[in-house]
């Protein structure tokens, strides 16, 4: 008959033990023995002791029968909480649901190994099929208040209100400084979803009052351009229907107007005139002119070769 029990694998030489739980003690004990005999047990500490003292030094003993109205996992966690960390116990974790939490990474059976792509797909599929434990549940008002008052840890904000000391910050900086980051890659589906989200969440651009914006423009800009029919929808979009007395209607960002700029064609003419003046000043320098002529001659010679 199957029973929910807490058991120990006891080393009779030094009285150290391993704690576990099962609903089928005979099958569970058989699996433990098979793995220990083949030197493949997940508990490296227990395996080392088995190899040192031999099979005859260990006994399997039921220490508690768990009633049907109790959770077997919670019952095991009580034993682990009392014994893990003490010299007598071979277990590494205080949590039956996470047997490797708190243990050294080198002790994990998958340490240094790689998982095949097929296995990754199986693990990913199995994880996606698991239901969220909080699906359909809500926190009570008291729990919300405790989280808000930071009396309960919020797992999504582990560092909320905390600061790392200078030594830790320096250690993190030294480890990351100079290390090139991997380029970000996007799948076609990811890009498509991102575009759809941007369109769905984009704020509707509506014309707004331009008077407050015009107050920030230089007086020279206000005299130079006509803003009577201008349309302003936000700082990230151009001010439309602005009128230049020389080139007609144009659009420009408000930030450019604040800097004294405006019509793109006027700006292009100003830059061209400025370059012309600079070239005349440079041509008046005989050294610069000689260097330019030599560079042109060398360029023509390269084309003929």
In the predicted model, residues of the chain with pLDDT beneath 50 are none
Which residues does 53 contact at the CB level (< 8 Å), separation at least 6?
11, 13
Q: What is the CATH number of domain 5-107?
A: 3.40.1440.10
- In this predicted structure, what is the pLDDT of residue 157? 64
- In this predicted structure, what is the pLDDT of residue 62? 92
| Integer CA distances (angstroms), 297 to 285, 288, 290, 293, 303, in order | 19, 14, 11, 6, 10
Q: How does pLDDT run across 201-248, given as a tens digit for each residue?
A: 877 767 777 888 888 899 999 999 999 999 998 888 899 999 999 999
CB atoms near residue 214 (< 10 Å): 16
Kindly state the helix (H) or strand (E) to which residue 21 belongs, with its residue range.
Answer: strand 17-22
- Exposure string of 160-182, with b = 16+ CB inside 10 Å and e = fewer, is eeeeeeeeeeeeeeeeeeeeeee
CA angle, corner 95, sides to 77 and 41, nearest 5? 105
- In this predicted structure, what is the pLDDT of residue 139? 86
Contact in structure between 47 and 54 (CB atoms under 8 Å):
no
Structure tokens at 10: 């006891």
- In this predicted structure, what is the pLDDT of residue 154? 61
- In this predicted structure, what is the pLDDT of residue 153? 61
Strand order in the sheet with 58-65: 17-22, 5-11, 58-65
| φ, ψ (nearest 5 deg) of residue 100 | -105, 0
- In this predicted structure, what is the pLDDT of residue 103? 67
Long-range contacts of 74-78 (CB under 8 A, 24+ apart): 75/4, 75/6, 75/21, 76/6, 76/19, 76/20, 76/21
Where do the structural domains in the chain lie, given as residue ranges?
Answer: 5-107, 211-262, 269-304
- In this predicted structure, what is the pLDDT of residue 143? 85
- In this predicted structure, what is the pLDDT of residue 268? 92
Using DSSP's 3-state secondary structure scheme, residue 170 falls into helix
Structure tokens at 267: 């700006």
Q: What is the rounded distance in angstroms from the CA atom of residue 285 to the CA atom of residue 278?
A: 11
Q: What is the rounded distance in angstroms from the CA atom of residue 130 to the CA atom of residue 239?
A: 52
Using DSSP's 3-state secondary structure scheme, residue 91 falls into coil
- In this predicted structure, what is the pLDDT of residue 160? 67
Q: How does pLDDT run across 22-37, given as a tens digit for each residue?
A: 999 899 999 999 999 9
Q: What is the rounded distance in angstroms from the CA atom of residue 187 to the CA atom of residue 103?
A: 37
Contact in structure between 50 and 69 (CB atoms under 8 Å):
no
Residue among 11, 7, 31 at smallest CA distance from 20:
7
Contact in structure between 102 and 53 (CB atoms under 8 Å):
no
Structure tokens at 300: 């023509």
């Amino acid at each position: 008959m199957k029973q929910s029990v807490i058991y120990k694998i006891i080393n009779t030489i030094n009285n150290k033990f391993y704690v576990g739980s099962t609903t089928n003690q005979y099958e569970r004990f058989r699996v433990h023995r098979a793995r220990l005999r083949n030197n493949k047990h997940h508990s490296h500490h227990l395996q080392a002791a088995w190899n040192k003292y031999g099979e005859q030094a260990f006994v399997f003993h039921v220490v508690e029968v768990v009633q049907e109205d109790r959770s077997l996992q919670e019952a095991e966690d009580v034993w682990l909480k009392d014994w893990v960390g003490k010299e007598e116990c071979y277990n590494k974790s205080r949590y039956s649901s996470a047997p490797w939490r708190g243990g050294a990474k080198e002790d994990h059976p998958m340490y240094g190994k790689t998982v095949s792509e097929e296995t990754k797909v199986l693990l990913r599929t199995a994880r996606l099929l698991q239901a969220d434990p909080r699906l359909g549940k809500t926190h009570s008002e008291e729990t919300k208040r405790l989280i808000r008052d930071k009396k309960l840890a919020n797992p999504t904000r582990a560092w909320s209100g905390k600061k790392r000391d200078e030594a830790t910050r320096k250690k993190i900086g030294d480890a990351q400084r100079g290390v090139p980051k991997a380029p970000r890659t996007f799948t076609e589906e990811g890009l498509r979803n991102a575009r759809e989200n941007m369109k769905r969440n984009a704020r509707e651009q509506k014309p707004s009052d331009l008077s407050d914006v015009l107050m920030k423009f230089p007086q020279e800009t206000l005299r130079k351009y006509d803003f009577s029919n201008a349309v302003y929808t936000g700082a990230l979009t151009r001010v439309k229907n602005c009128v230049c007395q020389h080139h007609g209607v144009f659009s420009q960002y408000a930030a450019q107007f604040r800097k004294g700029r405006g019509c793109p064609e006027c700006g292009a003419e100003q830059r061209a005139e400025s370059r012309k003046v600079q070239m005349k000043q440079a041509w008046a320098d005989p050294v610069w002119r000689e260097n330019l002529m030599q560079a042109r001659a060398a360029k023509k010679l390269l084309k003929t070769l």
